[in-house]
Structure 1
Amino acid sequence: MSHDALQTISLSIALGVFSYIISRAYKIPAIVFYLVCGFVFGPAGFNLIRTEEAIGGGIAPMVEIAVAIILFEGGLSLSIQGFRMEKKAIRRLLFITIPITGGAAALLSHYLTGMPWLFAGFFGALIVVTGPTVIGSILKSVALNQRLEILLNWESLWGDVIGVMVSALALELILVSKGGVITAGVFAHLLLGTFVGSLVGLAGGVLLKHIVAWLEKLKDPALSGIASFGGAVALFYISGRIVESSGPLAVVVAGMYLSLKCGDAVVGIRHFKEQIASLFISTLFVLLSAFVNPMELIHLWPTMLAVAFILGAVVRPLAVHLAMAGSDVTLRERWYMGVIGPRGIVAVATASYAAFLLPGFPYEMKVILNQTMAIIFFSGVVATVLCRPLASLLKVRVPHAQTGILLVGSNPMSREFARLLSRHVPVAFLETRRDACSLATDQGFQTVCADMLSADVYEEASREGYDRLVALTRNNALNELVALRAASHMAPGRVYRGVARRAEETLLTGNDNVAHVAFSDGFFITEAVRRMEKGHAWLTEKEADELGDGDIPLARLNGEGKGVLIMRPGIDPSGTLICYSRKEKTAAKVGAP
């Protein structure tokens, strides 16, 4: 390996990982940092990363693999239930917003930057993608209402698929017809690609499901992720070999099938894919960012910035409002989706891939690459800066008291607590034992049966809207270990640990910033479970002024029962409360179960 190649790859890995860590720490889309690193260390800056000289055309297959990983991971994360809830709005978003955005981008590219129609059409097709990686970062930083999360997630993933497939057709036209008219064969190719991609993806998903089920029996959690990663890349390649550009659809369909059929195993698959994708994709996109030299087209940047502004401030909001007209989506939600529409990593990948395949059109591809980078950077910055204040201003942010609650440990006390909580907020159980999982599921609760100490479980729960956790096992050490692990993935002050029994050494103190003591210093889970099993205690809703000596408040209802706050020491009970109540004759000591 030459010195330039080693230097380019090593520096790209280091900068990519650094960018990813900073993006996770500050909840900012990583693509923004990738672009900055590529600009600073590429030809426009220090010229230490020389992508074209060091790697050349070898980066093209890396781009295809990256697209396969991103879209497969997106398919794993999509909720079929979410589609059923918002299918009308999702269809309108995909089939009205995307064509309007793409058409407007093509017109702007042709009339403002002077691109020939075929290249303008290619630019319009690739710029419609928003990208699950960028939207995912935004959704982690702000708790939006369920409808907005569903719509943004579905648009980001299927927008990628549609954009990649249509831009591939536009690219094919440039390669084959070189300015000729669009023929019926192009549309037939699109239909055939849709059919083949869906079929290969479904068949591959079924095969991967059986492979994952077999690997689960080996008790090695890493194997399912490795097999799924290899399977996704293989499906992308096989489908693309049968019909050009059908690979993206195949991996999304396969990912969605696994998400629907593999249950808890999907958590481990997502965790592995996030690790491998983080290293590979971060490195690749620093390389791609360094492939572009903005200084070569400095005279066009005022025009390109105007295109970026018009697309983000005019076209996107207008397209969303037109698509959502007549739907149940509120005006506030339409404005939020209209303003928060960042372009994503797949757009960079598609534009870069095209640049390698079209060496005979250097000027046109430089303009498209620079324009794409400009739109991605500024739309990402705007989305990052505005996503939280705009959500609060438009009142589409879910208040802390209305976020979902993850209960760790299934027992008679926690299940009854969950039953009362579920009247007001989403509730799910996390358990390790299969029998406890089955019992909670049989009683109608959403249940995750997985390792309580696995960090990826808590990140997945947070992604699903469960931003609070209460550890209620009958083991103090386990409650504290769970709280420590969960606190690193949830916002400060949203993790609670129950006290299992009296006079037991603890790892955390009541004043620890990692997790609050749940309910009261004098509430002990094992004693409460024993009394409830004997019929000497129960959980109920009471007003604060009705509390007796045998009552311990566990949670307070907010806003006409539309939210719940978990009680902890130091908070005075008020309003309507969920209480642990004992028979007076058993209350030998006030505050003890």
Structure 2
Amino acid sequence: MGPSLLLEIALIGVLGIGSQWLAWRYRMPAIVIMSVTGLIVGPIFGIINPEEDFGDLYSPIISVAVAIILFEGSLNLSFKELKGIGKPIFRISTVGALIAWILGSLTAHYIAGLSWAVAFVIGGLFIVTGPTVIMPLLRQAKLTSRPAKVLKWEGIIVDPIGALVAVFAFEIITFITADNPDGSQLILFFTASVFAIILGWALGRGLGWVFEEGHIPEFLKSPAVVVVVIFGFTVADLVMHETGLLSVTAMGITLANIGISSISDMRHFKENISILLISTIFIMLTASLEVDTLLHIFSPNIIGYVLLMMFIVRPLSIFLSTIGTSLSLNEKVLLGWIAPRGIVALTVSSYFATILLDAGYQDASILTTLTFALVFFTVLSHGFSIGWLARKLGLSEEGKPGVLIIGSNPFTVRLADSLKKSSIPVIIVDSSWEHLKLARKAGVPFYRGNMLSEQTEHMLNTIPYDYLLAATDDHAYNSLTCTTFLPEYGRTNVFKISPYDVVDNSTGVVSRVEGRILFDRKFSIEVLNEKIEKGFVFRRTTLTEQYGLKQYLDEKDDSTVFLYLIKPNGVLKFFSEEMRTVPSTGDTIVSLTPPLKEKEKIQAKLDKVREQSDDV
């Protein structure tokens, strides 16, 4: 491997992760930025051409990456999520997929001008969406729970099905057009598919058993899973091309549903790997396209095909397959629009383009162009429209950043009430019905359950909440909760109440576990609850040009607790000694203030009113 190839690998990584960062920074669809970046450095300026530069390694790298990405997605498919949405998911993944296949094949024949054989192969492939494109869009749009789960399950389940349908269509075509038809190849196809499912299930059960029995140490579990995923994918793919995707999907679903204790750690590891792979693979695929492919995209027959697939085929397949289900009209509209194609469509179509051309179907030469056109236009349109459409249909949780508070006590209930009055989504989670009495009385949203339990994970919709505050009187539990949810919420959005002892300012190991100290180390939950009992009040102060931060600090009482501030644009920031939070003009500071200070403030207002009356 020469220096130039090493440099290209480094460049692909930088461009991929850089695209992800830009998407996060400017709240844009990551897939769109990655696709555009790949086109710029590839066919437009010719800086890199991964397919040519990597040579024989290119296809195996893409295939292994797709396998790991699909496995990571299926690792999130717990059957407990199907409660209330099992019927829509089943119908969309079966009836909907069949309708999409038939309609897509008809469109490919009559509009794109493909022969019946090629049309039915590509029609089967294009029923896929996939986790590579769906997952980033779901994170971006903050969909409500039900449509988000349907899109996630459909993307992961239909991904291998689409590839298998394409293989099945090709085998049927080969069988029908053969001079001496031999059904053995069809039998091999179905046998290989069943073998792939059984292999994936067996590998998943086997991994679960060795993990639970302690035969593999913790530090080797995630690497072992990656190796087994690659092994299962390769073995199944050697038996029959594209069945490897079915194997890794079965393996992931098996691991997700056998209840092994270390599944969450593996899920976080796989999610990190998946983001890295998605970022680099999209750059590699788009950078490997030819200029002629891009120019051919704007042919009338290809544009017409893409438009019909987006505006007719997808909506019809969703509406027809979900008749009689519990999905609302708005949910059907959203699902009927969102169907971006991704890595699987690009990689598998290039494989079929080659074998169909070898079989004498010359019209298969446009498959790569057709696939990229559908991928690019669906990613672009759905990426930019999903958030807007979800908000218009009332299916988005997007808004002001919400707060999830663990622990119901006098202070947290008053804190939640102050956030609620600022129109900030908030919820209190506690396993004690007695503790939640305060929240019920105050009219604050609450959920009864253990935040660390699997049931809470499936029952509580955490999408609206950007911040997590662990504020129970059990400091070890607070630290464990912060550690568990740190990968999901981010290091700057997870806080725990101070575990430090007010007498000797000391604590145990929990102070060094993940989670930033909320407010200040001298304010434990006992101290804060004591202040509430003494009558401390929540005070809102907006800084202006006339009343700035210096004057505010000069007038504040020494016992005042700075809680949080709200920026004019709605951004919420909690005060913490471990984070530098500097209020500025226009910010609203919320603090816990002594009752005497509040009385003085009221008295000053009354005196001002009297003075104005006297002047009159």
Instruction: Indicate the TM-score class for this superposition, using the shorter chain for normalisation.
Output: 0.7 to 0.9
The match for 1:386 is: 385
The match for 1:121 is: 120
- Offset at residue 394 of structure 1 (A): 0.8
Q: Aligned AA for 2:343? A: I
CA distance in 1, matches of 2:53, 2:241: 28
Taking the TM superposition and a 5 Å limit, the aligned residue runs for 1:406-555 are 407=406, 414-416=430-432, 419=436, 426=447, 429=450, 446=456, 467-474=466-473, 490=489, 497-498=496-497, 524-526=524-526
Which stretch of the first structure deviates more once superposed, 234-243 or 118-127? 234-243
**CA 1:156/1:426 → structure 2, altered by over 3 Å: closer, same or farther?**
farther
The match for 1:331 is: 329
The match for 2:41 is: 41
**CA 1:305/1:86 → structure 2, altered by over 3 Å: closer, same or farther?**
same
1:528-553 CA-to-partner distances (Å, cap 9, x unmatched) read: 89x9xxxxx9xxxxxxxxx9977989
- Offset at residue 147 of structure 1 (A): 1.6
CA distance in 2, matches of 1:503, 1:356: 75
1:155-186 CA-to-partner distances (Å, cap 9, x unmatched) read: 10111011011122334567787678997656
Q: Which runs of 5+ in 2 are unaligned?
A: 413-429, 507-514, 539-561, 567-593, 597-616
TM-score when normalising by structure 2: 0.70
2:15 paired with 1:15: yes
Residue 316 (structure 1) aligned to one of 314, 317, 325: 314
Q: Which runs of 5+ in 1 are unaligned?
A: 432-440, 449-460, 507-513, 532-536, 538-546, 554-566, 572-588
CA distance in 2, matches of 1:362, 1:53: 25
Q: Is the 8 A contact 1:4 1:54 kept in 2?
A: no
SS of the equivalent of 1:397 reads: coil
SS of the equivalent of 1:328 reads: coil
Structure possessing the higher radius of gyration over alpha carbons: 2
- Offset at residue 338 of structure 1 (A): 0.9
2:99 paired with 1:100: yes
- Offset at residue 127 of structure 1 (A): 1.2
**CA 1:483/1:257 → structure 2, altered by over 3 Å: closer, same or farther?**
closer
1:400-432 CA-to-partner distances (Å, cap 9, x unmatched) read: 69989463899xx9543775679955566456x
SS of the equivalent of 1:470 reads: strand
TM-score when normalising by structure 1: 0.72
Taking the TM superposition and a 5 Å limit, the aligned residue runs for 1:545-584 are none
Q: Aligned AA for 1:205? A: G
- Offset at residue 67 of structure 1 (A): 2.4
The match for 2:31 is: 31
The match for 1:457 is: none
Residue 290 (structure 2) aligned to one of 276, 290, 293: 293
CA distance in 1, matches of 2:143, 2:408: 27
Q: Aligned AA for 1:416? A: S
The match for 1:231 is: 228
Q: Is the 8 A contact 1:193 1:244 kept in 2?
A: no
**CA 1:504/1:128 → structure 2, altered by over 3 Å: closer, same or farther?**
farther
Q: Aligned AA for 1:32? A: V
- Offset at residue 483 of structure 1 (A): 7.5
CA distance in 2, matches of 1:74, 1:346: 13
2:134 paired with 1:138: no
- Offset at residue 123 of structure 1 (A): 1.2
The match for 1:435 is: none
2:349 paired with 1:351: yes
Q: Is the 8 A contact 2:297 2:373 kept in 1?
A: no
The match for 2:264 is: 267
Q: Aligned AA for 1:156? A: G
Q: Is the 8 A contact 1:391 1:397 kept in 2?
A: yes
- Offset at residue 485 of structure 1 (A): 11
Q: Aligned AA for 1:54? A: D
The match for 1:257 is: 254
- Offset at residue 569 of structure 1 (A): 6.8
CA distance in 2, matches of 1:401, 1:31: 25
1:289-310 CA-to-partner distances (Å, cap 9, x unmatched) read: 2332253573562331221111
1:455-508 CA-to-partner distances (Å, cap 9, x unmatched) read: xxxxxx9977765422115589997998799789549997665456769999xx
Count of aligned pairs? 514
Identity between Structure 1 and Structure 2 (%): 26
The match for 1:543 is: none
CA distance in 1, matches of 2:504, 2:451: 24
